[in-house]
Chains A and B, each alone.
Chain A
Amino acid sequence: MTQKEEAWIGLFLGVPILVIPSAVAVFIAYDKGLSFAPVLMFTGTVIWGGLLWLLPYIQRQFSKDKKKIIFDERDRLIHKRAVMASYVALWIYFVAACVITWCIVGPNGSISVNVMPLTLVGGLVLFNCVQSLASFIQYRRGAEDGAR
């Protein structure tokens, strides 16, 4: 599985598999309070998400052509830049979340404690999307340069 395929999987499988159950768990906790069901859902999602990250390694183990190079220097550089871009986007998102909340409820207002986990789930979605998109853009640029 190449880096590009991993990025596609991250964008189209990672978002529904990780984010939807996490968001549902947080909404249940927000609506009905913290109970066993949302905690179990969140834990299950974390475990499932961890297994999803192991998928490329498992695929490599069972691959017939083990000598085929699927992650070279260029992929490493693209991955590094994509993680950096998502890291910067994450900080901008958290600062924006503070400012927007401040603007909505005013300086003397208060927010529910359940908003914070929701913000965190939003950060997870953003991180995943930005990382995948940054990888695509860089691969596309590389392909365009190669075509010239």
Chain B
Amino acid sequence: MNKTQKSAWLNTAGVLLVFAFALYITIQIGVRHRPPERILLCIWVSALVLVAGIGIYFFRRKQSPAEPESDERDNLIKHRAVLAAFVSVWPLFLTASAIPKFIVGASGSIPVFLLPIVTVCIFYFALLVYSVAVLIQYGRIAKGEES
């Protein structure tokens, strides 16, 4: 596994953790109307630190001293993944601008603090698309080499 794959796995784990936490906070505050429980916050922070620590350790460690930082194939994979992330941003923003209309109606309004939340969510989703696209492409190449 090279550095690109490692960073893709790290990003995927980090983004999924953030999404899980965001879902928990939304349910806890939005549906149950209760503050988030401290023990769960501690578990989440510990999991995030653990993922970051393990990620940094494996990211710095090379499989062999001859392993290159990145080659032409890695650059092509990264380029395609960026393109996939970029393409995913437009339908996401389109969906994000259409959903409030259906919830509050055409003449309704939304709190202004939702805008940065939506932007950050879309950014994380684009990061997830990028990482998944990288992993899928490496998976395909590995299958091709096997067959």
Which residues of chain A have a CB within 8 Å of any CB of chain B? Answer: 29, 33-34, 80, 83-84, 87, 90-91, 94-95, 97-98, 101-102, 105-114, 116-117, 119-120, 123
* Distance between Cα atoms of A95 and B107 in the complex (Å): 25
* Distance between Cα atoms of A106 and B111 in the complex (Å): 10
Give chain B nearest CB distance to A36 CB in angstroms: 13
* Distance between Cα atoms of A107 and B79 in the complex (Å): 38
A-B contact count (CB 8 A): 64
Q: Given A29-B106, A33-B107, A80-B79, A113–B115 Cβ distance below 8 Å?
A: no
B97 touches which of A95, A106, A108, A116 (Cβ 8 Å): A116
Chain A residues near B96 (CB-CB < 8 A): 116
Tell me, yes or no, whether B93 is within 8 Å of chain A by CB. Answer: yes
What is the size category of the interface that chain B forms with chain A?
20 to 34
CB of A110 within 8 A of CB of B86, answer: no
Tell me, yes or no, whether B109 is within 8 Å of chain A by CB. Answer: yes
B119 touches which of A33, A94, A110, A113 (Cβ 8 Å): A94
Instruction: Taking A105-B112, A106-B112, A123-B93 as given, write out 18 further A-B residue pairs in contact, using a Cβ cutoff of 8 Å, ordered by the A residue number.
Output: A29-B106, A33-B107, A83-B86, A90-B89, A98-B115, A98-B119, A101-B112, A108-B111, A110-B111, A112-B109, A113-B108, A113-B109, A113-B110, A114-B106, A116-B97, A117-B97, A120-B94, A120-B97
Chain B residues near A120 (CB-CB < 8 A): 93-94, 97
7 interchain residue pairs of minimum CB distance: A116-B97, A110-B109, A98-B115, A33-B106, A113-B100, A98-B116, A34-B106
Which B84-112 residues have a C-beta within 8 angstroms of A? 86, 89, 93-94, 96-98, 100-101, 104-112
Give chain A nearest CB distance to B129 CB in angstroms: 13
Interface majority SS (helix, strand, loop, mixed), chain A: helix
Which residues of chain B have a CB within 8 Å of any CB of chain A? Answer: 79, 82, 86, 89, 93-94, 96-98, 100-101, 104-113, 115-116, 119, 123
* Distance between Cα atoms of A98 and B122 in the complex (Å): 13
* Distance between Cα atoms of A84 and B83 in the complex (Å): 9
Q: Which residue of A lies closest to B107 (CB)?
A: A33
B110 touches which of A83, A87, A110 (Cβ 8 Å): A110
Give chain B nearest CB distance to A81 CB in angstroms: 12
